[in-house]
Amino acid sequence: MKIFYRFYRVFFLLLIIGFYGCSAIDVSRYPDGTNFVKDEHLKKYERLPDVRFSIINTAEFPQIEGFLISSGSWFKRANAMLPCVLVRHPRGTILYDSGLGNNVERDFREGMPWGTGFTFPFKMISNARTQLKMSGKFDPESVKFIIMSHLHWDHASGIEDFPNAEIWTTQADYNYAIKKMGFGFSSSLFDNDKIKWRFIYFQDKPYENFDRSLDVFGDGSVVLVPLPGHTPSLIGMFINTKSGKRYFFVNDALLFSDDLKVPAKSWMEKLFVDYDKKQTEATIARIYRLMKQYPDLVIISSHDDATKFTGKLFPKFIE
């Protein structure tokens, strides 16, 4: 009988959490982000440089949808990605995030508090460096720098696999990672004095409905914007191609890009992982307005379901 009551306690707790997680964000509560400033480079997109990208999926983790997607089912499973993005530009090859790396077991052990490992049953595919080398087309040493969306272990584990690359992050996120080591962050990464950290600063230059931005190459092809909430200064990345197609990587601002349809965010992230719930909601509201303004804009989250990109992952490129 005690087991019976315990089961129902857990069941009703999940119902309450599920209700909380499925509650949609009231976009009207966040009036900012309604003014759009068009990049001059996009007026003649055919003149943009030949930039293209490929998603390198380093691992996947199957999990119940309800843990990952705000309106996900508790009776279905999702197969989330753990990727990084290879960006080829005439001025060099870069990565956005590093995926899971050669030291992932160490990073997992250091970054996941004891007893929480069951929430992250990842299945390793292969680290980015190995995939680049095995392709026979890319020298891992050609990666000039890695733009880190943020420094959680599942995004930063591969940093040490690229010892010659600069690691771009913000001072705010770096300081936050050091303060929070042991809960989402691998301490060994920050003890490695060989890592070439470079702190970047957003310019007070509006881009679309974001107040600040950073044009990586100065030509409008790769533009970074701040997406605070999940961490103090999570970095989003626009890729604008000469075909006119545009892509926006929002990473853990949303676990699954499908949550923009609500819009909402996974209860698990909001309760246990996000740095600031209000900032997270304001960021999602901003991304939601961006999606409504540009229906053809492709918005990609770092943990989208792998089946969504079947036949489109590295070594295939999107341009």
Does residue 318 lie in a domain region?
no
Does residue 192 lie in a domain region?
yes
Q: In a 3-state reduction of DSSP, which class is residue 168? A: strand
Instruction: Compute φ and ψ for 312, nearest 5 degrees.
Output: -120, 0
Span 262-313, pLDDT tens digits: 998 877 777 778 999 999 999 999 999 999 999 999 999 989 999 899 999 9
List CB contacts of 248: < 8 A, sequence separation 6 or more.
Answer: 236, 237, 238, 239, 287, 290, 297, 298, 299, 300
Q: In a 3-state reduction of DSSP, which class is residue 42? A: helix
Span 96-154, pLDDT tens digits: 999 999 999 999 999 987 656 666 789 999 999 999 999 999 999 999 999 999 999 99
Beta strands in 228-318 (DSSP E): 235-240, 246-249, 298-300
CA-based nearest residue to 103, from 55, 161, 60: 161
Q: Is the Cβ–Cβ distance between 308 and 226 less than 8 Å?
A: no
The dihedral built from the CA positions of residue 133, 139, 145 and 149, taken in this order, carries a sign that is negative
Looking at residue 263, which CATH number applies to its domain? 3.60.15.10
> Which residue range forms the structural domain that includes residue 82?
2-309
Does residue 9 lie in a domain region?
yes
CA-based nearest residue to 275, from 233, 309, 241, 313: 233
For position 22, what pLDDT does the model report?
Answer: 52
- Count CB atoms within 10 A of the CB of residue 182: 12
Does residue 314 lie in a domain region?
no
CA-based nearest residue to 271, from 2, 1, 36, 13: 13
Q: How much is the pTM?
A: 0.92
CA-based nearest residue to 253, from 158, 177, 160, 152: 152
Read off the DSSP letter of residue 209: T
Q: Give the chain's domain count.
A: 1
Span 179-223, pLDDT tens digits: 988 889 999 999 999 999 999 999 999 999 999 999 999 999 999
Does residue 129 lie in a domain region?
yes
Does residue 80 lie in a domain region?
yes
- Where does residue 188 rank: exposed (0-12), middle (13-18), buried (19+ CB within 10 A)? middle
Does residue 52 lie in a domain region?
yes
For position 210, what pLDDT does the model report?
Answer: 98
Does residue 319 lie in a domain region?
no
